[in-house]
Amino acid sequence: MGSSHGRLFRVTTFGESHGPAVGVVVDGCPPRLPLALEDIQLELDRRRPGQSALVSPRGEPDRVEILSGVEGGVTLGTPIALLVRNQDARAGDYEELRDKFRPSHADYTTQAKYGVRAGGGGGRASARETVGRVAAGAIARKVLAAAAGVEIVAWVERVHEVEAAVDAAAVTRAAVESSAVRCPDAAAAARMIARIDEARRDGDSVGGVIGAVARRVPAGLGEPVFDKLEADLAKAMLSLPAARGFEIGSGFAGTRMTGSQHNDPFYDAGGVVRTRTNHSGGVQGGIANGEDVVIRVAFKPTATILRPQATVDVHGKDTVIAPRGRHDPCVLPRAVPIVEAMMALVLCDHYLRQRGQCGG
């Protein structure tokens, strides 16, 4: 099972949705990096369930424990093991589903691949697995900030058909966190909240798009031809539960432009090469060019809805499920810190690879 990510900054997540705990092992973190429990907990608090009526009410405090790799408030250069214990798993909510395949979930495909699957909450396919990603991402952010002042901000750009107007160059985390839906456009945020609440009341769900920007990314990150920066970002984002699309820079909109419109002209900014536009999204030829790295990730509607659905059981017989349990009517508000974490993991790994290869 592909539970590890990265080459030099390598993370391995573990645990099932309704098992005793979830967590991550981070290998390759540089030594002597100041790291406090609060640095990690801050990000986990943004991801955890129960934050508002817009998300799953599962009552997980998600308190992180550092088991190794940190002493006296600094990293040792050895593997960092982080653990979060599951405290509010309700396996009984899934008893009906042990022998039935939920539509658009990983139940059938996991059974087909391994011949066995975790009975509660989707096991490794559950978004609960992303606890480890966010915890590791908090460490990656610290490495990037200390080394190059890199700043990463993500936001909800669209929920169903409600779209926000967001300037990627100017958006701040404070603006994002000012809304329960994590959209910095206040007018759009109000409409998004109403749409999510409508779906929740109807026992349904909605999807949307998350935008993200990484600022002050050093030029030179990325390793063509198979480890291009945008390729690794795409793989990281599409590995997220419910992710269904990835764009960088102009993305699909760039197909409606001509080359003369889309090209980013270079200019000399006091001895530093810059581009006047950023249709490339900060990456050219698979390598960061020093501009903001701007991406978008599309997420499908949450697969679990509180409506009866036709399906089959493990014997191939037609049946109906009426799911219970606690689920997000829209994954986007909690996916914002997860997207940031994956962006940090990719950039941190490429930063360390570039430093090791070229010394800077």
pLDDT digits (tens, 9 = 90+) for 74-123: 999 999 999 999 987 665 566 777 889 999 999 999 999 999 988 766 78
Asked whether the predicted pLDDT for residue 326 surpasses 90, the reply is no
Q: Which residues of 134-146 are buried (b: 16+ CB within 10 A; e: fewer)?
A: bbbbbbbbbbbee
Residue 161 is classified by DSSP as T
Q: pTM of the predicted model, to two decimals? A: 0.95
Q: How far apart are the first and last CA of the chain?
A: 34
pLDDT the model gives residue 360: 57
d(CA 244, CA 254) in angstroms, rounded, equals 19
pLDDT (mean) for 140-148 = 97
Q: What is the pLDDT of residues 63-85, one digit of tens each?
A: 999 999 999 999 999 999 999 99
d(CA 204, CA 29) in angstroms, rounded, equals 42
pLDDT band at 57 (very low <50, low <70, confident <90, very high): low
Longest Cα pair distance anywhere in the chain, in angstroms?
A: 70
Q: What is the pLDDT of residues 230-274, one digit of tens each?
A: 999 999 999 999 999 999 999 999 999 999 999 999 999 999 999
Rounded percentage of the chain residues whose pLDDT exceeds 70 = 94
pLDDT the model gives residue 1: 63
pLDDT band at 33 (very low <50, low <70, confident <90, very high): very high
* Mean pLDDT estimate for the chain: 94
Domains by residue range for the chain, with CATH: 4-358 (3.60.150.10)
